[in-house]
Each structure stands twice: as structure tokens, then as C-alpha cells.
């Protein structure tokens, strides 16, 4: 099998390639304890160890592990103590989970158009915006609006990224959320984390994520006298163990991505109809993002790469203005909740041109994943295979 064919069939290009039985010391420890529920342990649970390490590594005040990043988004939103029907400004280009988290929290999403990097354009936000979700898509660090009380950073695809001022992505606003979904930077199949610098917000999140009470390790179940309602979002010890193992490889993985990105900068074709979108020093370089002169050229490149077995994807599916969750405003509640609280005098989409420019940018954009775990010699060969495919378009 040729190198480009072998690389193209790698289904999970990032953290999954750092999973190895010989490296699973944390999982062995958890299984040896025979306790898989984090609040049943007498000492520090594996989930607490993960949270401590994440907070230390990212420079965050507090961290909380949950089942997935969608839950983390909901917890972050709930911790702002909103009123039902409050508006939340979200990127028009992102995964639908962001809109779902807003709606399932009883809030109403407002789509905000993208800038040239396909990140939320903060210049479109109204002066009275109180809740804004920014998404660092594809590892690209998005601008974080200032002067907004509750900014939530969606870092599901950007663990390890840094903002221009040097802070880790996820630590600039009210809260930051991360994902361990199967094709994220690190993976445990599913899994989520959130961080915040606000002790009160963290206390609210921690209580809500376990039925409204702050559990005492080793004395489960206990209930706070002032308990409020909540849900069960508590992660398990075995999942936290895999995440701890993955987290040990974060710096190694980031370095591998940087190395292959540098290789790609020197090894890609020079075409007047093709541009490699620049990445900042703080981006997590999970992919090469190309922009063609036309959609026809982009689609031809997709066909050429796919025929050669080289993984690639487009981003049109992330335009939420076309998603049925937003266009149909359907609800499982008889009264249409929470859409029935949408204001009649406020637009639920903010764009200068009806998203025409963003549609055009998406139509011409193509992504090719990088392979951080490969030795440099194989990274060079992989880039060569990509170059040959693009030259053939």
C-alpha cells in the first residue's frame, strides 16, 4: 500500500494515534481500585486529578470534567443565571451543538456572521450583548470580544491554542469548554471539560452537574440542604483515566502538528488559483486550510484527493443558517419552547450581506488534516502526496 493511501485511510488523525495499552497506567490504576464512580473514592479521584492537571496546564482557576462538550456549554450558560428566552450570540459557522446547547438551556440563539477566518465577527455584536459564544474552529484562534459580561469560548477543536496575549484559549472569558470527541485534538471517544476563573460559576456548574448538590468524595450520596435541581453529567473514572493518558501527550502532539505544518509551508504547490490560509502562532494546526478561486476548483480538488485516498473535508455543513434546527425552529414542547420566547423586534441573525460572503468563502474552502505522530520523514512524504494531488487539479 502506498504511503498516501495508508495516510488517507487514517480515520482518527490526532489523539487516537497516541492510545496504546502499554501507556495506560492511569486506566490500570482505576481498574485496580475497582471504583469507577468519581465520588465513591476516599482520596483524589482520577477525575479530580484530570481537572487539577488541566487547570494547572491551561492557567485556569477551576476545571470540571463532564460527559461531552455540549454539556459543558450548557453548564457554562446556566452558570450565568439567565432568564428564559435570553439571547445568546453564537457563530454562524460552527457545529450545531452550540445552537443545541443554547436552546436546551431555554435560551434563544442569534447567528453572527463570520470574518475572513470564518470566526465570529465581534464588530457585528450589538452594544447590549450579554452572552456570546465564540468558537475556535479548526484550531484557529477566534477574536474574543471585550466588554461582554459572559463570553464562552468553545475550544472543542483547539485544546492547547493560545490567544495573542499568550493566555490559553478558554481562559479569556467567563468559561471555556473542550471536547474529547473521537476526532478532536485528544480523544476518549466522548468527553468534555470546562474551565473558568470564577469560583462562583464553578460552584454552580459543579452542583448542577450532579443533581444540584456538591458531593463530598467518599461520602456519596450526600445532599446539600440548599440543593437546587440539576442533572447527571458526572464523568466516570475510566473515561477520566483515558483523558489523563491523552493529556500527557498534549505537548508532543502539538509539536508534531507544528512540525508538519512547517514542512507543508515549504512543500505545497505554488498556484495562482490556490491560497493556503495563514495560521497564527497560537493556532493548533490540526489541518491545512486551502481556499480556491472557485467552487468548481475546490470540488475538483476534493475529487482528486479522495481518489488518491487522502483525507479531506469541506466546511459548508457548519453554516448554521442552513441547518434545520435553526431554519425550522422545531421544538419538542407543545408551546414551541424556547422559540416561543424569541423577541419579535430583534433579528436572530446578524450579517451585512445576508451571509453571501461567508457562503462564498465556505464554497471555496478545503481542509486536509495533519498527522502529528508521524516521524518527519513520513510527514514530508505525506505533504508530497498532497502537493501532487493539488497539482493534478
**Domain end marker among 203, 227, 248:** 248
In a domain, 341, yes or no: no
The DSSP H or E segment spanning 104 is helix 97-104
Long-range contacts of 19-26 (CB under 8 A, 24+ apart): 19/187, 19/242, 19/245, 19/246, 23/245, 24/241, 24/242, 24/245, 25/245, 26/240, 26/241, 26/242, 26/244, 26/245
pTM: 0.94
**Domain end marker among 226, 248, 270:** 248
Residues 185 and 235 grouped into a single domain: yes
Domain of 309, in residue numbers: 250-318+356-391
Residues 74 and 125 grouped into a single domain: yes
Q: What is the CATH number of the domain that holds 262?
A: 3.90.1150.10
Mean pLDDT of 181-193: 94
Which residue, chain included where needed, has cell 459580561? 149
In a domain, 48, yes or no: yes
Percent pLDDT > 90 in the chain is 88
The chain-wide mean pLDDT, for the chain, equals 94
Question: What total of structural domains would you count in the chain?
Answer: 2
Residues 224 and 308 grouped into a single domain: no
Give the pLDDT of residue 215.
83
Residue 17 has pLDDT above 70, yes or no: yes
In a domain, 8, yes or no: no
Residues 175 and 302 grouped into a single domain: no
pLDDT digits (tens, 9 = 90+) for 312-341: 999 999 999 999 999 999 999 999 999 999
In a domain, 2, yes or no: no
Amino acid at each position: 500500500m502506498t504511503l498516501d493511501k495508508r495516510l488517507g485511510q487514517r480515520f482518527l488523525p490526532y489523539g487516537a494515534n497516541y492510545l496504546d495499552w502499554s501507556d495506560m497506567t492511569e486506566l490500570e490504576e482505576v481498574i485496580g481500585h475497582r471504583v469507577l464512580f468519581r465520588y465513591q473514592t476516599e482520596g483524589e479521584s482520577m477525575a479530580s486529578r484530570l481537572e487539577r492537571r488541566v487547570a494547572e496546564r491551561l492557567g485556569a482557576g477551576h476545571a470540571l470534567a463532564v460527559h461531552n462538550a455540549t454539556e459543558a456549554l450548557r453548564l457554562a450558560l446556566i452558570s450565568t443565571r439567565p432568564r428564559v428566552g435570553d439571547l445568546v450570540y453564537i457563530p454562524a459557522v460552527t457545529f450545531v451543538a452550540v445552537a443545541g446547547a443554547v436552546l436546551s438551556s431555554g435560551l434563544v440563539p442569534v447567528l453572527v456572521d463570520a470574518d475572513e477566518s470564518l470566526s465570529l465577527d465581534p464588530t457585528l455584536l450589538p452594544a447590549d450583548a450579554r452572552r456570546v459564544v465564540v468558537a475556535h474552529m479548526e484550531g484557529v484562534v477566534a477574536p474574543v470580544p471585550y466588554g461582554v459580561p459572559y463570553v464562552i469560548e468553545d475550544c472543542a477543536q483547539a485544546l492547547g491554542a493560545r490567544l495573542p496575549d499568550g493566555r490559553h484559549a478558554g481562559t479569556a472569558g467567563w468559561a471555556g469548554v473542550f471536547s474529547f470527541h473521537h476526532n478532536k485534538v485528544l480523544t476518549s471517544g466522548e468527553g468534555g471539560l470546562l474551565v473558568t476563573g470564577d469560583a462562583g460559576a464553578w460552584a454552580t456548574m459543579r452542583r448542577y452537574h450532579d443533581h444540584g448538590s456538591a458531593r463530598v468524595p467518599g461520602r456519596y450520596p450526600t445532599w446539600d440542604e440548599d440543593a437546587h435541581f440539576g442533572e447527571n453529567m458526572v464523568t466516570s473514572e475510566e473515561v477520566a483515566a483515558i483523558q489523563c493518558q491523552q493529556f500527557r501527550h498534549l505537548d508532543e502532539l502539538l509539536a508534531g502538528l507544528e512540525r508538519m505544518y512547517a514542512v507543508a509551508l515549504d512543500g505545497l504547490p505554488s498556484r495562482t488559483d490556490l491560497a493556503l490560509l495563514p495560521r497564527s502562532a497560537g493556532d493548533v494546526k490540526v489541518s491545512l486550510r486551502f481556499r480556491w478561486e472557485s467552487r468548481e476548483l475546490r470540488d475538483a480538488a476534493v475529487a482528486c484527493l479522495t481518489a488518491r485516498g487522502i483525507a479531506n473535508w469541506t466546511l459548508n455543513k457548519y453554516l448554521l443558517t442552513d441547518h434545520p434546527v435553526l431554519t425550522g425552529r422545531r421544538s419538542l414542547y407543545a408551546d414551541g419552547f424556547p422559540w416561543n420566547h424569541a423577541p419579535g423586534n430583534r433579528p436572530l441573525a446578524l450579517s451585512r450581506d445576508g451571509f453571501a460572503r461567508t457562503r462564498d468563502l465556505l464554497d471555496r474552502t478545503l481542509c486536509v488534516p495533519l498527522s502529528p505522530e508521524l516521524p518527519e520523514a513520513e510527514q514530508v512524504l505525506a505533504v508530497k502526496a498532497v502537493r501532487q494531488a493539488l497539482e493534478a487539479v
